[in-house]
Amino acid sequence: MSEGFIKEISARETWLVRHPVLRAGRPLEDCVFPHDEDQSTAHFGAFHQGHLVGVVTLLHPTEHQFQLRGMAVLTDLQKLNIGSRLVNHLEARVNSIGGGRIWMNARALAVPFYLKLGYHICSEVFEVPGIGPHYVMEKTVS
Ligand SMILES: CC(C)(COP(=O)(O)OP(=O)(O)OC[C@H]1O[C@@H](n2cnc3c(N)ncnc32)[C@H](O)[C@@H]1OP(=O)(O)O)[C@@H](O)C(=O)NCCC(=O)NCCS
């Protein structure tokens, strides 16, 4: 999708996409993730025709270690490259602050998406209660 742009957004704005995609049918409070409001945390939103359609969160707890969280694109607009562009944007931010290891708990269904972006699996499969099977995936950017 060529149209659209990505910009930094607030934690609260991410709920607009987190809720329908990642926490459907659950209370809105379930969209609050730990460390969302930390000063070192950044949230990015992808906009299409003026509407927020994709989100991702970057946690930076320690030097050169980054966690990607809350990756989601509205269902009707998936597989249009929006998720890839968000990850590219997040990686550019990581690069701009010195690079490092980016990791995430990837839903098994999303593993092919992250593999295409150069991440690799570095754990056994594990279950996140109420959500399903996950793997830790990682990539070092510099
Ligand atoms: C996973 C997700 C974020 C990907 O975003 P997206 O905008 O749909 O992905 P893109 O269009 O950038 O896809 C990039 C490539 O990955 C592939 N891909 C994306 N999602 C995929 C999936 N679930 N299974 C297999 N391949 C997938 C695309 O087909 C595309 O391949 P191509 O380059 O050969 O065409 C999005 O589908 C989503 O929100 N899914 C539901 C929530 C979720 O699982 N989030 C991840 C939590 S860890």
Q: Name the residue at shortest CA distance from atom 1 of ligand 1.
A: 110
User: Which residues, other chains included, contact 83 with Cβ-Cβ below 8 Å and sequence gap of 6+?
Assistant: 54, 56, 71, 73, 113
Residue nearest to atom 18 of ligand 1 (CA): 113
Which pLDDT value is given to residue 130?
87
Q: Where are the domains of the chain?
A: 5-105
Phi, psi of 61 (to 5 degrees): -70, -40
- Distance, CA 83 to ligand 1 centroid (Å)? 6
Question: Which CATH superfamily does the domain covering 5-105 fall into?
Answer: Gcn5-related N-acetyltransferase (GNAT) (3.40.630.30)
Radius of gyration of the chain (CA): 14
In the reported structure, the alpha carbon of residue 111 is separated from the centroid of ligand 1 by a whole-number distance in angstroms of: 9
pLDDT tens-digit map of 70-92 = 999 999 999 999 999 999 999 99
Q: What are 9-43's pLDDT values in tens digits?
A: 999 999 999 999 999 999 999 999 999 999 999 99
Transcribe 34-66 into DSSP letters.
TTTT-TT-EEEEEEETTEEEEEEEEEEEETTEE
Cα separation, 106 vs 132, in Å, equals 10
CA of 131 to the centre of ligand 1 (A): 17
The pocket around ligand 1, CB under 6 angstroms, is made up of: 21-22, 71-73, 78-84, 106-107, 109-110, 112-113, 116
> How many C-beta neighbours within 10 Å does residue 107 have?
17
DSSP state of 81: S
Share of the chain above pLDDT 70, in %: 98
